[in-house]
Amino acid sequence: MDSIDKLLAELKANYEQPKPEPSQQIPTRSVSIPLSKSANSIDNLLEQVKTEFEQKDLALELQRQEQLEQERIQQAEIAAKKIEVLKKQAQDWLDKLDPYSPEGLWFEQFAETYPSKLEAAIEYLHAQ
């Protein structure tokens, strides 16, 4: 940023200099060449700074997307673990369930609408 400030100060100084008398006037060509070089340098510096910011923004966006993907993966893993815990609890409950008890008879009717008794048990235990 110091080089940009120096160039801007140099340009400002060139524009703020008192205009010489007509007899002391500098030819336009010699003045315009340094100004165009300075302007070109400023344009190049500004383009470079713009490119750097765009690259930083892109890197930050990629980092944010990677972080979101990691969070999504973690959430999926947590959900899968919860499902496994529920399946184990439901299977344990089914193993302990007496099919001839009132609850067992009721569950048999309840489970008819589910693809498996395990899924019915998961739903039943989840609702409790």
Of 17, 90, 102, 1, nearest to 53 by C-alpha is 1
Measure Cα distances from 83 to 26, 77, 119 in Å.
84, 10, 11
For the packed helices 2-16 and 28-96, what is the interaxial angle rounded to 10 degrees?
150
Q: What residue type is assigned to position 11 of the chain?
A: L
- State residue 27's pLDDT score: 54
Q: Where are the domains of the chain?
A: 28-127
Per-residue pLDDT at 57:
96
Question: Do the Cβ atoms of 4 and 45 come closer than 8 Å?
Answer: yes
- pLDDT by residue (tens digit) across 67-118? 999 999 999 999 999 989 999 999 999 999 999 999 999 999 999 999 999 9
User: pLDDT averaged over the chain?
Assistant: 84
Q: Is the pLDDT of residue 31 over 50?
A: no
